[in-house]
Amino acid sequence: MATKAKRQLDLLDTFVARGQSEFTFHDAYQALGTSASATANMLRRLNEKGLVDKLIRGHYAIRPLGSLGTSATTEDLGQAVGAVFDGYPHRIAYASALSELGLLNHPVRVVYVACTKQVRFTAVSCRPLRTIIEQHKTIYLEAEQLGKTWRSSLERALFESAMRIDLIGSVERLTEALAAGASEANPERIKRLSKAFAARGLAAERRLASLATSLALPLELSPQVHKRQPVVRLDPRDADVIWTDERYRVAWNRDVDELRAIVSN
């Protein structure tokens, strides 16, 4: 038993010495020089002991010693996503970006990743994966590189969430994130994103401007909106209209005081 344990640790030492924090089944198979079944058994035991985290089938991450018994993805989502999407233009986005940036009070379990191609896997380290197809020309706009992965910047995360409420859950969650990040967000970067996404971008900027102005949040956005311009919904999925912000032509499906309570908490 001691020999088996030593071989398991030797395998991990081999990868650490190479500077690898993650590895594939093929990497382990070559390093061990044993059969495929023996390699699979060893990796299963390493996973059960909490020494490695299985990201997707055939791809593993070495857990930091201080994180044994916890999920490697919880410790470093960027590491896990970077390993899984290696070779794919991608970006941690939407609700996952908001969560990683510390803008939400509760963690998001689903991993949201924007990618230029559809992928076959549906989970990252036992967490559900939602892949959103995006054009190559916008995938890295206002994104930050984190090792092998990319993540939406503060401005991109707020902007894309206002553009796709369905990918963050609710107007309440957008309000929570905006309240947490408004003071640090650069309005000029949001305006550049608005122009890059044309009509959909302007609609998102109008939603953010309406929320920020109505809730007295420190984000100075002032998109040009004509009086005859069509009204956009705060949440495109909800046809209910409680009141309409005439300045930015945004129809709210929530009462202002209701969202203001989220800001004050």
Would you place residue 78 in the very low, low, confident or very high pLDDT band (cuts 50, 70, 90)? Answer: confident
**Helix (H, G, I), strand (E, B), or coil: what is residue 140?**
coil
| pLDDT computed for residue 114 by the predictor | 97
Of all residues in the chain, what percent carry a pLDDT higher than 90?
Answer: 51
> Is residue 130 classed exposed, middle or buried when 0-12, 13-18 and 19+ CB atoms within 10 A define those classes?
middle
**Mean per-residue pLDDT over the chain, rounded:** 87
- Give 108 or 163, the one with higher predicted confidence: 163
Q: What is the pLDDT of residue 124?
A: 81
Counting residues of the chain whose pLDDT is more than 70, the rounded percentage is: 92
Confidence (pLDDT) at 100? 93
pLDDT of residue 53: 80
Residue 96: is it exposed, middle or buried by C-beta count within 10 angstroms (0-12/13-18/19+)? buried
Rounded distance between C-alpha atoms, residue 178 and residue 168, angstroms:
12
Residue 144 pLDDT class (50, 70, 90 cuts): very high
The yes-or-no verdict on residue 129 having pLDDT over 60 is yes
Q: What is the DSSP letter of 231?
A: P
pLDDT score at 9: 75
* Predicted TM-score of the model (pTM): 0.76
**Length of the chain counted residue by residue:** 265
Q: So what's the pLDDT on residue 216?
A: 95
The domain locations on the chain are: 2-72
Q: Identify residue 82 by its one-letter amino acid code.
A: G
C-beta separation of 112 from 97 below 8 A: yes
181 vs 4, residue with greater confidence: 181
For residue 253, name the pLDDT band (cuts at 50, 70, 90). very high
Which residue would you say has higher pLDDT here, 86 or 175?
Answer: 175
The pLDDT score that the predictor gives to residue 247 is 94
Residue 67 predicted with pLDDT over 50: no
Q: Give the pLDDT confidence score for residue 31 in this predicted structure.
A: 87
The pLDDT of residue 168 is above 50: yes
Give pLDDT, residue 64.
65
> Which of 23-37, 155-169, 207-221 is predicted least confidently?
23-37
Q: What architecture is domain 2-72?
A: Orthogonal Bundle (1.10)
> Is residue 158 predicted with pLDDT exceeding 80?
yes
pLDDT confidence bin for 172, thresholds 50/70/90: very high
Q: Which of 16-25, 111-120, 218-227 has the lowest mean pLDDT?
A: 16-25
Instruction: Pick 36 or 246 by higher pLDDT.
Output: 246
